Structure formats: C-alpha cells, structure tokens
Amino acid sequence: MISVFNQYVSVKHIVLVCFESLIIVMSVILEAKLRFWNQQSQFLHYAWSSDFVLHLLTVFVLIQGARHYYKVNTGDVGSDQPVRLAPALAMGCLLMCLLYQVFPDIFVGSGMLLLTLIVAAVTIIAMRAGLDLFWQATTRGKNVLILGDGLTAVATAREVERRSDLKMNIVGFLTPANSDSNGLFGYPIFGGKDKLRSVVDDRQVSRIIVALDELRNALPVRELVWLRIRGVEVEDAQSALASLTGRIWLQTTRPSWLVFSAGFQRSRSTRLVKRFLDVTLSIIGLIVLSPLMCLTAIAIWLDSSGPILYRQVRVGLGGKEFDLIKFRSMHLNAEAEHGAQWARQGDPRQTRVGQSLRKYRLDELPQFINVIRGEMSLVGPRPERPVFVEQLRELIPFYDERHSVRPGVTGWAQVQYRYGSSVDDAVRKLEYDLFYLRCLSNAFDIAIIFQTIRVVLFGYGR
C-alpha cells in the first residue's frame, strides 16, 4: 500500500485506475478508428482535436462515476458488476445528449458513443473481476500486531478489517500487562509486552500498531526501538486510524498527538495559489453553469412561493459572521414555528424541488459569489450557523479550529459524510474537517473538487 494525502491506498486501487484509464483511451481510439475507417489523415486530425479529448473525458467520467458501485476499498468481489455499472452508464448517456445540445459540432453519432461505452464497460467489468480473483489468490499481505487491549485497540482492529483491500492481516494483540483473556475482537491475546520480540519473530510481524489508551509506564520503548531499527514498521494508532478512514478520531486522539503529528502546514504560497484558484474557478463556474442556475431558479419559482435566493448568517474565518447565499430549498418561513433546526434527510421543511437541489448540491451554486467576495473558499469546512456554533463549541473539543481557514462551498466532510442532523453528526464531520486541515494542500483541494463533481453528476448525495 502507499499513502496519498495521508490516506492508505491499496496497490490494487492504483492498478485498477491505471488499467481503467488505458481501457478508456483504447475504447475511444477504437471509436475514432471505426469512424474514420481507411481515412488515416482524418483520423490523425481527430486524434489531436478537442473533440477527441472531450469524448475521452466524458467516457472517463462515466466509468469513474460507476466506481461508486464498485467496493474497491473493501475488497468486494461482486457478481453484479453489470447491474452496478448500469446507473452510471444511463446517466452518462443523458449527459452526452445534453452535451451534444450545447456543443453540436462534436456529435459523432449515437451508435459510435454506444459502441465506445459497451466496449469500455464490458472490458472493465472483466478486468475488475479478474483483478479481484487474482488479488485474493496471490497477494499475501503484511502481518499486523496491535499493542493494546482497550477502546483504541478495538477501533483499530475494526478499521483494519474493514480495509481488507490493504491486505493487513491482524495476528493478535499484546496487552500492557499480562492478561488471562483468551482473545479480543476474534483475535488471540499473546500476553504482556514482555513477549513482544518473541511474538514478532514467531508470527512474522512486519507492522506494529501502538494502540495504548494510557502510555505512561506501559510503552515498551526499548523493545520497539530494537524492532524498529531491524525494519519492523511501528505506527501509533491515531495516525493509523486517520490514514485508514480519512478522519481524525476525537474519541481516541490525545491533544499531544495534534501538537506533534505531521501536517497542519499552510505556507504563504499555498494560501496565494488557493485564493487564485478560488477566484478563477468561481468565475468560470458562474459562466459555465449560468444556464443550469437559470433553470434552477425557474424551477424554484414555479414550485413554491418565496424568494429564489436565500441568505443566511454563517460563521466564517476567525469566527466572523457573513451572509451565505444559496438557492432556497425550503418553504417560506420554514423555521417560524420551531426556530433553528438541523437539516436532515427527508426534512419536511424542504420543497419538492429543494429535495433534488440538496441531493445534487445544486442549492450551493450561488456561493460562488461568496467565494469571489473572499468570505468563502471553494474547498474547506462548511460554515455553520451562529446558534449551532455556540452549542457545538461547548460540547465538542477543538470545534473552533475549523474556523482557522475560510469555509468552503464543498469540503472533505461533505464528500465523505451525509448532511449533519445532530451533535453526533457534527462530531463526525469535525473529524473529517480536522483531517482536511492536517492535509491541506492545493492538490487535495483539486481532488475534493473532482469528488464533488461526481456527487453532482451522479447524485451520490448523502
């Protein structure tokens, strides 16, 4: 496995992306070859044109959209791959029809597009199934020993099991002191820390995860140093959990880890480039998406009475309040009776159009204006209402740290978690926000933007 944006990514995932990209390129080349059969000069002209690039990107988006139905992070071998792929391909055909209406010059014929999609889909399904079987049969993986027997140790074991694609095989636990327990979480307990070296040798352990809830007088420093120098990987549970899940677990994380862990760096150049990308992409977004925004405004106007745009006070950078702009997705005076409430799935305050707007995140589009005005960024923690901020900062440690950057139109928590509707949801989203602050970079922002586009195109709203 490798680390990308401080997250563990399996080699299988990298191989899958590489093979899929190659298949997509070859499928579009096949389309061009059939279209310009025995016309080499026209084929070469098309291959270097913007039309070819646009078709390539379209097919790539369709197949990547189907990734939602392929559980690569759990090592799932699914026999229903065609069924999982079908919704993305259906949405893709609709997308291409709309694209041809806007750019009629790139039209190559529905038969050609259908052939490209069929060839790409069938080949990728076969490749995925073959890769799943090959991976399970040939990949040995690394043996992992967990040092600890408390809440942190169990949480670590659970997440390692969930990420079976990483091929990390738990051999068992070691306790801070000798234990009479027969096992924990389905794995053996080998005894106390004095048996560390012998267990590592006997079980061929290549990675140790230190998951002690209390480090004082419990950490076998001398033995860990001896093993680390000899090539055994040693990692603390907080870092392992963050890399496995993409969030910082507040329940198991000590403040000292936040102080001494890597990350949380924001250079001046990173901030300048981030601001440049914010303004540039927001202006482009307003121009390109203006037809969609006009249709959305008309739908809101026809669906219910009230203003099309809605302004709401939110808390931004440094705790400063600002007016957030969004398309209205709720009935007029929806909070007049009960006051401020959490937004939730199936919220009765939503209009019929508002339900679709929230699912596809279209209600957030006017916030490009907030970004241009400097009140928000394209990517960052979502801004919360002052009344909820006052409640949450009293209940959740480190909550105000999310106000150390500009809030975002989208964010890591938004593409990883559903709408928050309780304090527990706020805790989980803060964990994702803290992970984003730890890994903040322009490359990470771009990756989040691409994931957001997938949410909008394929409706993976949570």
- Residue 178 is part of a domain; what is its CATH number? 3.40.50.720
Instruction: Please check whether residues 339 and 409 belong to one and the same domain.
Output: yes
* Residue ending a domain, choose from 260, 293, 311: 260
Q: Cα 190 to the chain's mean position, in Å?
A: 37
Q: How many other C-beta atoms lie within 10 A of the C-beta of residue 183? A: 10
CA gap 76, 184 in Å, rounded: 25
CA dihedral for 63, 68, 246, 415, sign (positive or negative): positive
Q: Which amino acid is at 26?
A: M
Instruction: Please check whether residues 427 and 325 belong to one and the same domain.
Output: yes
- Reported in sequence order, the residue ranges of 255-344 that DSSP labels E, i.e. its strands, are 309-315, 321-327
Residue whose tokens read 């029809």: 97
Residue-by-residue DSSP string for 233-256: EEEEHHHHHHHHHSS--TTT--HH
Q: How many other C-beta atoms lie within 10 A of the C-beta of residue 94? A: 11
CA gap 445, 449 in Å, rounded: 6
* Residue ending a domain, choose from 260, 291, 318: 260
Report the pLDDT value the prediction gives residue 98, as an integer from 0 to 100: 61
Domain, as residue range, for 372: 268-458
Instruction: Please check whether residues 9 and 74 belong to one and the same domain.
Output: yes
Instruction: Please check whether residues 213 and 108 belong to one and the same domain.
Output: no
Residue whose tokens read 């975002």: 408
Report the pLDDT value the prediction gives residue 69, as an integer from 0 to 100: 47
Count how many Cα atoms sit within 13 Å of the Cα of residue 380 in the half-sphere of its side chain: 25
The DSSP bridge partners found for residue 154 are none
Report the pLDDT value the prediction gives residue 75, as an integer from 0 to 100: 47
Q: Which amino acid is at 420?
A: G
Residues whose CB falls within 8 Å of the CB of residue 117, separated by 6 or more in sequence, listed in order: 59, 62, 89, 92, 93
CA gap 40, 81 in Å, rounded: 36
Residue whose tokens read 């055909």: 93
CA gap 141, 297 in Å, rounded: 53
Three-state DSSP at 189 gives strand
Element containing residue 330 per DSSP (H, E): none
* φ/ψ bin of 139: left (φ > 0), alpha (ψ from -120 to 50), beta (otherwise): beta
Q: How many other C-beta atoms lie within 10 A of the C-beta of residue 314? A: 23
Is 219 buried (19+), middle (13-18) or exposed (0-12) by CB count in 10 A? Answer: middle
Instruction: Please check whether residues 209 and 110 belong to one and the same domain.
Output: no
Three-state DSSP at 179 gives coil
Instruction: Please check whether residues 303 and 443 belong to one and the same domain.
Output: yes
* Angle (nearest 5°) at CA 342 between 340 and 348: 90
Helices 268-288 & 442-458 angle (0-180, nearest 10): 20
Find out whether 44 and 55 touch, Cβ atoms under 8 Å: no
Instruction: Please check whether residues 41 and 119 belong to one and the same domain.
Output: yes
Residue whose tokens read 């978690």: 417
Q: What is the mean pLDDT of each run of 10 residues along the chain (462 residues)?
A: 86 83 80 74 71 68 56 50 58 60 55 70 81 79 91 93 90 77 84 89 95 77 94 94 94 88 88 96 93 93 90 95 94 68 70 86 93 96 94 92 95 86 89 95 92 73 48
Instruction: Please check whether residues 109 and 158 belong to one and the same domain.
Output: no
Q: How many other C-beta atoms lie within 10 A of the C-beta of residue 139? A: 14
Residues whose CB falls within 8 Å of the CB of residue 315, separated by 6 or more in sequence, listed in order: 321, 383, 384, 385, 386, 389, 403, 407
Instruction: Please check whether residues 111 and 149 belong to one and the same domain.
Output: no
Residue whose tokens read 């820390």: 193
Instruction: Please check whether residues 424 and 309 belong to one and the same domain.
Output: yes
Q: Which amino acid is at 40?
A: Q
CA gap 167, 418 in Å, rounded: 28
Report the pLDDT value the prediction gives residue 111, as an integer from 0 to 100: 58
* Residue ending a domain, choose from 71, 104, 138: 138
Domain count, the chain: 3
Report the pLDDT value the prediction gives residue 462, as an integer from 0 to 100: 47
Count how many Cα atoms sit within 13 Å of the Cα of residue 227 in the half-sphere of its side chain: 23
Note the helical H segments in 109-254. 110-138, 151-162, 196-202, 221-229, 237-245
CA gap 125, 23 in Å, rounded: 11
CA gap 104, 254 in Å, rounded: 58
Instruction: Please check whether residues 394 and 286 belong to one and the same domain.
Output: yes
Instruction: Please check whether residues 276 and 384 belong to one and the same domain.
Output: yes
